[in-house]
Amino acid sequence: MSVQYAQIDPRDNIIVAIQALAKDTFVEVAGKSLMLKEDIKQKHKFALNDFAVGDEIIMYGVLIGKAVKEIPAGCAITIDNVKHASSEFKETSEKFTWKAPDVSKFKDRTFNGYHRKDGKVGTGNYWLVIPLTFCENRNVDVLEGALSEKLGYETKKDFAVDTDALIQQYKSGASADDIFNTPIITTKEEMSKNRVFPNVDGIKFLKHDGGCGGIRQDSETLCRLLAGYITNPNVAGATVFSLGCQNAQIEMLQNAIKAIDPNCEKTVHYLEQQQSESERALIEEAVKHTFIGLTEANKVTRQPAPLSKLVLGLECGGSDGFSGISANPGLGYASDLLVALGGSPVLSEFPELNGVEQEIINRCVTEHDAKKFYDLMRAYSAAAVAVGSGFENNPSPGNIKDGLITDAMKSAGAAKKGGTSPVVAVLDYTEQVTKPGLNLLCTPGNDVESTTGLVGSGCNVVVFTTGLGTPTGNPVAPVLKMSSNTNLYERMNDIIDINAGTVITGEDTIESMGEKILDHVIKVASGEVASKAVLHGNNDFIPWKRGVSL
């Protein structure tokens, strides 16, 4: 790693330490020469010039904070001398022009996916088991115990013990030596190879704590989210458990499905416990309906599809000071490539767009979407303030420790995931992606709530950038984890799929990394490579209760 420090944007007045820098290190950058007055940690920043109290701190070319103390040139930028600040924004948008990247390497590429009758294409083929209320979570557990392992799907165990084989040996009169020499251990990999339904990638059980209690709007939102999962192209059909008296009624879910797809032909079985003869009868009916549904889902096979059928969720979590320099802009370039190919990347996490609102507004294709984004950001910010918080409280202790000291700094780097293309649609939570091009989706910055929302709005694959590491996955869509630095990739290789640290070391450019990301996405979408989150069974699912969640 030869580069020791970098100015990310020519307008920046703080500099990133690519490597740890010692006090008295001589620095030449942006036409200036200075001596560091203190040690600067890797990923952290130092002042390019002297700051007085109230002076603006600029990074990524935008306002990310203001000095609360005098900061001499060559001193570290910290939470003690800088506070969060972001630029004001207005509704009106300016005319925006965009030059699409060269996609000649990908113009003839396809991925092998599951074609649905509504024209969408899935990157997986799953059956869902869904409770409409938390009261039904136990029945979901019973169904999982009855089906998953027996049908060759994932189990929480690293291996299965086939006691039946020993019983059969005993009943047949086998000797003690024969019994002892009978193999009874089956690994996860072996169980997967012996699936009863090889064309069905899994049965997913979406337990949650909603559907009743709370405010009625929470149940309505939950039903819209669940409808988004059922109509997601990665899903073949669903079994739905209802207690009967809860707020989230069966009809509410059915109406939400019709709102997304009036002609939905997917098989959805609804079972209401309060109308059933007994719990045993309910489970028996659920098992049989689900088994028959799986036999139909198994008839669908992967077929070639254009890359325009990819709906790519753009997510980040456990970010560090390198995330906005390597992983996020690399994913942003992949996003631009996908837009140029007719696909639909989706950028979420609205609290992490704080400070770059004007750029987003100016990129909106229509005034309607520019105003919608403006209104959503204002409303979200006001809701946070109303409960005594605010976007400035978004950075986590891990973010701060690794160099992201204000929300605007974190946001300016996080927004890089969305690339540079025009914004074709601004969606509120649970609204569906229907337009090719870059979509914005209002979700919290919380990793799992946001990823859950992305897939609920139609994403069939997600790329998740991280600087600190996270095992996060999703029940329905493969989630590819990408590290911002090579050290993380090497330490947590068991959960990280792609390494963007090569951008930091100079082995890759942003453009070459973006091409590598898209190439890996295509392989995962085709079922050629499994994401680490899928291999580990990370099925994280947290619906957003529309209260304040940062």
pLDDT (tens digit, 9 = 90+) per residue, 275-317? Answer: 999 999 999 999 999 999 999 999 999 999 999 999 999 999 9
Query: In this predicted structure, what is the pLDDT of residue 86?
Result: 84
Residue 533 has pLDDT above 80, yes or no: yes
Residue 221 has pLDDT above 70, yes or no: yes
Residue 544 has pLDDT above 60, yes or no: yes
Output the pTM of the full model.
0.91
Confidence of residue 162 (pLDDT cuts 50, 70, 90): confident
According to DSSP, the β-strands at 26-29 and 110-115 are unpaired
Q: What are phi and psi of 523, to 5 degrees?
A: -65, -40
Q: What are phi and psi of 545, to 5 degrees?
A: -80, 125
Query: In this predicted structure, what is the pLDDT of residue 191?
Result: 65
Query: In this predicted structure, what is the pLDDT of residue 228?
Result: 98
Whether 155 contacts 191, CB under 8 Å: yes
- What residues form DSSP beta bridges with 465? 316, 482
3-state secondary structure of 107: coil
User: Given its phi and psi angles, is residue 455 left (phi above 0), alpha (psi -120 to 50 degrees) or beta?
Assistant: alpha
Across the range 496-506, mean pLDDT stands at 96
Of 316-320, 424-428, 430-434, which gets the smallest average pLDDT? 316-320
Percent of the chain topping pLDDT 90? 81
**Pick from 546, 535, 462: which is nearest to 495 by CA?**
535
Taking only the tens place, the pLDDT of each residue in 441-455 is 999 999 999 999 999
Between CA 60 and CA 81 the distance in angstroms is 19
Percent of the chain topping pLDDT 70? 96
Residue 485 has pLDDT above 90, yes or no: yes
**Pick from 413, 493, 421, 478: which is nearest to 14 by CA?**
413
Query: In this predicted structure, what is the pLDDT of residue 154?
Result: 72
Residue 18 has pLDDT above 80, yes or no: yes
Across the range 53-65, mean pLDDT stands at 93
**Mean pLDDT for the chain overall:** 93
Query: In this predicted structure, what is the pLDDT of residue 2?
Result: 73
